[in-house]
Amino acid sequence: MANRKKQNAPSGKEKHFSGDKYSVEGYKNRIILFVRKSGKKPISPKELAAKCRSRKGDEHCYDTAVSELIEDGVICVRKRGYVLCEVLGYFKAEILRLNRTFGFMKRCDDESEIFVPGKFLCGAMPGDIVLAHLIPSRSESPEGEVIDVLRPASAKLTGVITEDEGRLCFLADTMAKTPVRIEESGIEYSVGDKVMAELCRHGRRHRDHTVRILFVFGSSQSADCCARSVLAVNEISADFPDDVQREAKRISAAGVWEDDCRGRLDLRDLPIFTIDSAESKDLDDAVSIEKTAGGYKLGVHIADVSHYVKGNSPLDREALERGTSIYYADQVIPMLPKELSNGICSLNPGEDRLTFSCFMNISEKGELLDHEFRKSVIKSRVKGIYKEINSILENTANEDILKKYEELLPSIKLMDELADKRLELRHKRGAPEIETPESKLILDENRICVDILPRTRGKSEMIIEEFMLLANESAAKLAANREIPFVYRTHEEPAAEKIEDLKAGLRRLNIEVPVFSQVKPAHLAQILESAKGQPFAPVVNNMTLRSMAKAKYQTEPIGHFGLALDDYAHFTSPIRRYPDLAIHRILTDVVAGSDDQRLKKRFEAFAHKASEHSTAMEIKAMNVERDCEDCYKAEYMQSHVGDEYDAIISSVTEFGFYVSLDNTVEGLVHVNTLPEGYYQYDGYFALVDEYSGRTFKSGDRVRVQCVRADVNSGKIDFEII
């Protein structure tokens, strides 16, 4: 009996077994071995099972191994059996997002993005893990095809109820242009309703899916309903879990006592004040300034949120999960409950507040000499309003405003003086001045968008921005010098191919391109400066912006290209950004005297987790804010269909061009609506009629008429007058 066992035992190369049976991992190794030997020729299930010598009673481990290898994208099923995916050039990817006619996926091995034409999506949905391969590309970007869905995501999606051949159907906001069947769920809905649905049956094409309606938001032509659906599909809630809410109420009810101030620097007698927009309720930064013999002493005092939100508490876990507050229209989805964000942590005037202060000594020329971080307590003098302080700086303030800021007028004058010097230094170090227009949406009592205004930046906004930059830079310098775990705000230099595209585009616009082998921030600043005041300035601004990498959070201090700074972090907004809260927690230990070894042990893993998750949540928040804003803009334009506007062509594609109105509204002029001709896209900035030579190019001023505005999609269409 012993001899028989010895003869049947696996060879030395196949040691994964449990007793006399192979484990799942053992079977995986053997399966891969034999499938690889078979090359591109499929090995049949029967032959593979025989080669792996699966014994009676051990089928479960073998079947599990096969299933897991298929799900992991290691092997795949062909008509006649199994083949190793890498042999066929197949790879595992995640579906990122879908349009009606195409989608994008991200490779799991190198995270590169790949365009997928709609007909090659194989019914895949966002979040699905798929098996895919590359196909010949019609552009310079890679294109791919989905072979199979390996692991479907929990597929909840929003859309509109439509009628198709007398039957109510679901038309998804993303996915395909074809409505899909609805399985009865007991929920009442009607044509035009905005709804949330879930996939209950997957087809090989999007049109073959079946959905079940989960929730009805209301009319698909109400921006408010559409915004709520955007939040819902992204699993963003204004409500907090019960344990988080209880903790916030307990902290808020306790208030600020003298015992809380013990051991802190008492700054309540200093003329400290906040400067923010009139509607802001989460005031997390205040400033102070004084003249010194060598220049200035600037104080930036930030709400000490880390004093209240302890590491790994319910509040902290929820804040990390959210990552950031989300702002859209007149709404805020806060990172922290309002008891903290608008209450105990907000630096409200006339109230004692615990703060984390950064004191900076600055030279007469505006250069940062040194910095010091201290735990403190302040009492803000007033809630400074940008508009009011701008009127003071412009000498147009009325008596009420001058009286409100009477005690602070010397400080405001000093801040204006210092900001001018800092802006000059910013210009000298070559930081590109890229403009990103923002909108202010005006809603009526029924929450309907009735006006859109471009947000303007006055001098007080620039003052606060410069002072926050200084505090952020100081925090990053401290961490980089100590080489402690930290969450840096980084911005890598543009990719070489992006810069080459920028150069080519500038030459086509007959704009002089600076000579450089390696791009520096000053080179982009020079390009933007040369375009100032020209009709094509917005185009150059957009081109330059597109050439740059996206800022993110990292644990390595690689610098910030866009700001032309070697060290940078986010320290000044812990009420609404988790990276700032993470930094406060680390700097609290630094100020308390912790040595570098203790800091590394305590915060290294935390800094990595905070950096990665915060970057992902920031991207998600930006997309949500943009999608919501698009719906409100379309709602406003619905009441202006037929109106004519002066506009500028902001970008051109092969299917038309986008125009931007003075109020920041953007929309598409489709090529099919242009005056008769045969229009060809030049690949850069223009559509040219081959017969007449008529050209529509980026930067051109055009007269357009609004012909359509769809609130549900947030899309607005124009036609040339």
Interval 396-406: pLDDT, tens = 999 999 999 99
CATH architecture of 640-720: Beta Barrel (2.40)
Q: Is 111 exposed, middle or buried (0-12, 13-18, 19+ CB in 10 A)?
A: exposed
321 in the Ramachandran plot: left (φ > 0), alpha (ψ -120 to 50) or beta? Answer: alpha
Listed as own residue / partner, the contacts of 612-615 with beta carbons closer than 8 Å and 24 or more positions apart are 612/553, 613/320, 613/321, 613/323, 613/578, 614/323, 614/324, 614/487, 614/553, 614/577, 614/578, 614/579, 614/582, 615/552, 615/553
Most confident range, picked from 31-40, 100-109, 407-416: 407-416
- Comparing 297-301, 544-548, 574-578, the range with the smallest average pLDDT is 544-548
- For domain 156-220, the question of CATH label 2.40.50.640 is answered with yes
The predicted structure's pLDDT at residue 304: 98
Per-residue DSSP letter, 513: -
Q: Record the pTM.
A: 0.86
Percent of the chain with pLDDT over 90: 68
Bridge partner residues of 182 (DSSP):
211
Asked whether the predicted pLDDT for residue 344 surpasses 80, the reply is yes
- Comparing 48-57, 61-70, 180-189, 494-503, the range with the smallest average pLDDT is 48-57
- For domain 2-87, the question of CATH label 1.10.3720.10 is answered with no
How far is 28 from 479, CA to CA, in rounded Å?
46
The size of the chain, in residues, is 721
- Token code pair at residue 464: 């606060």
**What count of other Cβ atoms lies within 10 Å of the Cβ of residue 605?**
10
Distances (CA, A) of 368 to 359, 409, 419, 536, 575: 11, 24, 12, 37, 26
Question: How large is the average pLDDT for residues 610-631?
Answer: 96
Asked whether the predicted pLDDT for residue 9 surpasses 50, the reply is no
Asked whether the predicted pLDDT for residue 8 surpasses 50, the reply is no
Q: Angle at the Cα of 623 (from 622 to 628), degrees rounded to 5? A: 100
Listed as own residue / partner, the contacts of 66-69 with beta carbons closer than 8 Å and 24 or more positions apart are 66/27, 66/31, 68/24, 68/28, 69/28, 69/31, 69/32
Q: Which of 660, 152, 141 is nearest to 435 (CA)?
A: 660
336, 309 in Cβ contact below 8 A?
Answer: yes
How far is 697 from 684, CA to CA, in rounded Å?
9
Question: How large is the average pLDDT for residues 654-670?
Answer: 94
Same CATH topology for 89-151 and 640-720: the answer is yes
- Token code pair at residue 231: 């939040």
The predicted structure's pLDDT at residue 710: 96
Q: What are phi and psi of 381, to 5 degrees?
A: -75, -45
Q: Which pLDDT tens digit goes with each residue over 366-387?
A: 999 999 999 999 999 999 999 9
- Comparing 173-177, 199-203, 450-454, 526-530, the range with the smallest average pLDDT is 173-177
Taking all residues of the chain, what is their mean pLDDT, rounded to a whole number? 91
- Token code pair at residue 236: 């963003």
Asked whether the predicted pLDDT for residue 513 surpasses 50, the reply is yes
The predicted structure's pLDDT at residue 16: 40
Percent of the chain with pLDDT over 70: 96
Asked whether the predicted pLDDT for residue 196 surpasses 80, the reply is yes
Q: Which pLDDT tens digit goes with each residue over 152-167?
A: 887 788 999 999 888 9
Asked whether the predicted pLDDT for residue 227 surpasses 50, the reply is yes
The predicted structure's pLDDT at residue 52: 81
Pseudo-torsion of CA 110, 115, 120, 125, nearest 10°?
70
Q: Domain residues of the chain, as ranges?
A: 2-87, 89-151, 156-220, 242-481, 496-548, 640-720
Question: How large is the average pLDDT for residues 349-375?
Answer: 97
Q: Which of 430, 331, 419, 265 is nearest to 632 (CA)?
A: 331
Asked whether the predicted pLDDT for residue 269 surpasses 60, the reply is yes
Class of domain 89-151: mainly beta
- Token code pair at residue 398: 């009325």
Place of tokens 């009673």: 57
The predicted structure's pLDDT at residue 243: 96
The predicted structure's pLDDT at residue 53: 66
How far is 194 from 188, CA to CA, in rounded Å?
12
Q: Is 436 exposed, middle or buried (0-12, 13-18, 19+ CB in 10 A)?
A: exposed
Asked whether the predicted pLDDT for residue 2 surpasses 70, the reply is no
In the chain, the amino acid numbered 468 is: M
